[in-house]
């Protein structure tokens, strides 16, 4: 019982910390906590349980069809798991995209929802690995080894794979092209499956003949992917800040916000400081970001679902809050 509680702590503790980092990186317009919690829980329970059931059934099916237990065993982590797990994690992102499209304001939003879902999945998966493959087989030393490998060295893996599904849905959300709307989520899913399959295949090799060299190569590929994904985050943050500068300048000219508020809204450092001053300040700067993004959406995809009305409402709310900030 104590060992299992330790695996819960070692799995969910870091996952929640990583989720907090993802939330912090989304600097300008925070996503609703209720949706992020729902995404995390979907990953931790629905996607994990579904993946266990589907993967088991498919692996048994492959063994029955091929009459080759070794091939079926190898196909589990290298083929079945990436397809099943990315599909189930991506389904959560797709549901948010479908029922809460107004929350998909930029590719970064899609990455946030996808990463949070994937971190929930990773947390539960790590509990199972740390307890059954770690503690049950090799005691606390086995648990410690898997903790380092899966949670510390490989902790961002699932989040990075599924982030590309989020990018795909966001691109579909922000495009006028019906072709892009159809193909972008599919391409994002394919990239996620490929990266996941690449990691799992290399991990299988690392555990075999290639040993430590295979492990080092796997980590190198994984971390390169993480650096690339982090680069996308930085790129998107810079792009969102450029939207703030362009679209909020008009609000200064109209008298909706002041010059000093405009400068703070467009500065990550100034906004971090301003958000510490209280709820009104946080709400004000989040509305600034949402207004800029809605104006960008209006320019890119048109009226859509009442963008003009939403812009007018946000502008009115900002004008009321501006005198308090």
On whether both 15 and 150 belong to a single domain, the answer is: yes
Q: What pLDDT is recorded for position 209?
A: 57
On whether both 305 and 188 belong to a single domain, the answer is: no
Q: Which two tokens stand for residue 282?
A: 């946080």
Is there a domain that residue 254 lies in? yes
Highest-confidence segment of 208-212, 244-248, 265-269, 303-307: 244-248
Taking the model in full, what pTM does it have?
Answer: 0.92
On whether both 186 and 41 belong to a single domain, the answer is: yes
Cβ-based neighbour number of residue 151 at 10 Å? 20
Domain-ending residue, one of 187, 206, 225: 206
On whether both 42 and 141 belong to a single domain, the answer is: yes
Structural domains of the chain, count: 2
The CA-atom distances, in angstroms, between 135 and each of 2, 14, 66, 144, 153 are 11, 19, 33, 9, 19
Q: 153-183 pLDDT, tens per residue? A: 999 999 999 999 999 999 998 888 889 999 9
Angstrom distance (rounded) from CA 22 to CA 233: 10
On whether both 176 and 101 belong to a single domain, the answer is: yes
Q: 222-267 pLDDT, tens per residue? A: 999 999 999 999 999 999 999 999 999 999 998 999 999 999 898 8
Is there a domain that residue 213 lies in? no
On whether both 188 and 43 belong to a single domain, the answer is: yes
Is there a domain that residue 192 lies in? yes
Angstrom distance (rounded) from CA 246 to CA 255: 15
Domain-ending residue, one of 153, 183, 206: 206
**Cβ–Cβ under 8 Å, residues 288 and 247:** no
**Domain boundaries, position 314:** 240-322
The CA-atom distances, in angstroms, between 194 and each of 42, 83, 117, 197 are 22, 9, 18, 5
Is there a domain that residue 228 lies in? no
SS3 sequence of 197-217: HHHHHHHHHHCCCCHHHHHHH
């Amino acid at each position: 019982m104590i060992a299992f509680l330790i695996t819960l702590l070692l799995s969910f503790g870091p996952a929640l910390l990583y989720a907090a980092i993802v939330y912090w990186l989304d600097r300008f317009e925070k996503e609703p906590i209720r949706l992020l919690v729902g995404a995390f829980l979907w990953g931790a329970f629905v996607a994990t349980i579904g993946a266990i059931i589907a993967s088991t059934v498919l692996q048994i099916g492959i063994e029955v069809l091929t009459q080759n237990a070794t091939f079926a065993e190898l196909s589990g982590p290298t083929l079945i798991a990436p397809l099943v797990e990315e599909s189930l994690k991506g389904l959560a992102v797709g549901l948010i995209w479908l029922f809460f499209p107004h929350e998909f304001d930029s590719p970064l939003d899609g990455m946030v929802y996808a990463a949070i879902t994937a971190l929930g999945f990773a947390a539960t998966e790590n509990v199972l690995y740390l307890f059954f493959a770690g503690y049950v087989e090799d005691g606390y030393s086995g648990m410690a080894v898997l903790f380092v490998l899966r949670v510390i060295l490989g902790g961002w893996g699932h989040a990075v794979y599924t982030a590309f599904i989020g990018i795909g849905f966001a691109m579909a959300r922000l495009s006028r092209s019906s072709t892009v709307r159809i193909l972008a989520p599919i391409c994002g899913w394919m990239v996620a499956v490929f990266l996941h399959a690449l990691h799992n295949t290399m991990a299988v090799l690392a555990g075999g003949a290639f040993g430590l060299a295979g492990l080092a190569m796997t980590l190198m590929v994984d971390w390169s992917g993480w650096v690339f994904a982090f680069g996308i985050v930085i790129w998107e943050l810079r792009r969102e800040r450029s939207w703030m500068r362009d679209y909020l300048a008009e609000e200064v000219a109209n008298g909706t916000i002041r010059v000093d508020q405009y400068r703070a809204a467009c500065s990550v450092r100034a906004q971090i400081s301003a958000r510490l001053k209280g709820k009104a300040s946080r709400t004000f700067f989040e509305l600034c970001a949402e207004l800029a993004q809605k104006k960008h959406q209006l320019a890119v995809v048109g009226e859509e679902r009442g963008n003009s009305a939403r812009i007018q409402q946000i502008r009115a709310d900002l004008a009321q809050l501006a005198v308090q900030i």
